[in-house]
Amino acid sequence: MAVAHAASATAQSTGLDLAKSVNCLACHQVRDRRVGPPFAAVAQRFAGQPGAADYLAQSIRNGGKGRWGAVPMPAQPQVSAQQAHELAEWILSLAKQPQVR
């Protein structure tokens, strides 16, 4: 059990580090709203949906509008397809995390 918890903690810090490195935190936070929705809210909305990681990865790279309010998500072409998928998987993993502040 301790090994699984350690692996989960490592995945969480790696996901957060990636989000920081590609400037996701300029508009998003993990639990609090900034310009865009909190990652935890995105995770809750898409938790358990088939194809959610692919959809989110595509949304990261191509942007979108009207899904979370009036402010559009600009395309992030500097984020590679692999990074976008890793970010999407990390975001979705937040649905399983306790809502600790």
Looking at residue 49, its amino acid is Q
For residue 51, pLDDT beyond 90: yes
Q: What is the pTM of this model?
A: 0.83
Give the pLDDT score at 96.
Answer: 83
pLDDT tens-digit readout, 64-98: 999 999 999 999 999 999 999 999 999 999 998 76
Question: Whole-angstrom Cα distance, residue 73 to residue 37?
Answer: 10
Over range 12-37, report the average pLDDT. 93
| pLDDT for res 11 | 56
Q: Report the candidate in 21, 40, 18 with the shortest Cα–Cα distance to residue 86.
A: 18
Q: What pLDDT score does 93 carry? A: 96
